[in-house]
Amino acid sequence: MHDVRYPTVNSFITLSKNICYNLPKYSFLREGGRMIKVLFLEDEPTIMEVLTEYMKLQQYDVTQVEDGEAAIHLLEENSFDLAVLDIMVPNKSGLEVLQYIREFKPDMGAIMLTAISDEQTQLKAFNLYADDYVIKPVSPLILLKRMETILRRSKYFEKKSDKIDGLYLNEDAYQAFYDNSPLQLTLSEFLLLQTLKKESGRAFTREQLILRIFNEDYIGNDRIIDAHVKNLRKKLPHNYIKTVIGVGYQYNQALS
């Protein structure tokens, strides 16, 4: 276990006076002025206590949990803005908790904080839409900055999510949501919906959509766009894509 960059609990008191209390307090607040709620999954007591104190000094409301199954129970009963997840924890792993978050709490930020550094595990975490992957040992101050970055981004998406009638697109994660539930779209389907939605007043030909989605690499029939539209209409709760006879397709502005 790597301890070198974490102070002992006793020495933390002195360290916090010299460093932490002098940090700028950003105090991210949600609607109604409430503090940001953080779920911290970690089974190593010293790391848990020290990093929790750093978070609290930055005005975060931190809930500690030591195993993955308990973390999921907390998520079922409570709302959180951000999760900081160790991977190797009892009962259910941090990756299983992340999978639960992405299925049932898609707007929630998630940072993996772990000593596991192999590429396969990192790719698995990012494929589950982890917002960040931080390898231990890490400076507590750097972890706080990474948390701030995710929160700033999420606040931006709250204002700029391009939400229409329950539908919005997270362009960083290539993920579409309807009423906060993720939609299972392929990459091509997402890019098609994104293209139409961004220029909702424009009717696109099939050739124009192929160039937007596949660039110039696609060799084949332009009717592939019809197949993607058909699949999208099956997956979307409303008919967001209308056919423009003699041209192609357009985003349905009547739903905005």
DSSP codes joined into one string, the chain: ---TTS--HHHHHHHHHHTGGGS-----B-GGGPBPEEEEE---HHHHHHHHHHHHHTT-EEEEESSHHHHHHHHHH---SEEEE-SS-SSS-HHHHHHHHHHH-TTSEEEEEES---HHHHHHHHHTT-SEEEESS--HHHHHHHHHHHHHHHHHHHHHS--BTTEEEETTTTEEEETTEEE---HHHHHHHHHHHHTTT-PEEHHHHHHHHHTT---S-TTHHHHHHHHHHHHSSS--EEEETTTEEEE-GGG-
Q: What is the pLDDT of residue 155?
A: 52
The model's confidence at residue 165, banded by pLDDT at 50, 70 and 90, is low
Q: Specify if 3 maps to a domain.
A: no
The model's confidence at residue 59, banded by pLDDT at 50, 70 and 90, is confident
Range ranked top by mean pLDDT from 61-75, 155-169, 177-191: 61-75
Q: Calculate mean pLDDT across residues 173-182.
A: 81
Q: Are residues 79 and 180 in the same domain?
A: no
Question: What's 66's domain CATH number?
Answer: 3.40.50.2300
pLDDT above 70: percentage of residues in the chain: 78
pLDDT above 90: percentage of residues in the chain: 44
- Which of 136, 160, 184 marks a domain boundary? 160
Q: Are residues 244 and 136 in the same domain?
A: no
Domain that includes residue 203, residue range: 167-255
Question: What's 180's domain CATH number?
Answer: 1.10.10.10
Q: Are residues 207 and 94 in the same domain?
A: no
Q: Are residues 63 and 116 in the same domain?
A: yes
pLDDT in tens, 16-55: 444 444 454 444 444 444 678 999 999 999 999 999 998 8
- Which of 129, 160, 191 marks a domain boundary? 160
Q: Supply the mean pLDDT for the chain.
A: 81
- pTM exceeds cut of 0.75: no
Q: Specify if 4 maps to a domain.
A: no
Q: Are residues 148 and 224 in the same domain?
A: no
Q: Are residues 87 and 63 in the same domain?
A: yes
Q: Specify if 249 maps to a domain.
A: yes
Q: Are residues 27 and 119 in the same domain?
A: yes
Q: Specify if 36 maps to a domain.
A: yes
Q: Specify if 1 maps to a domain.
A: no
pLDDT in tens, 89-119: 999 999 999 999 998 888 889 999 999 999 9
Q: How many domains does the chain have?
A: 2
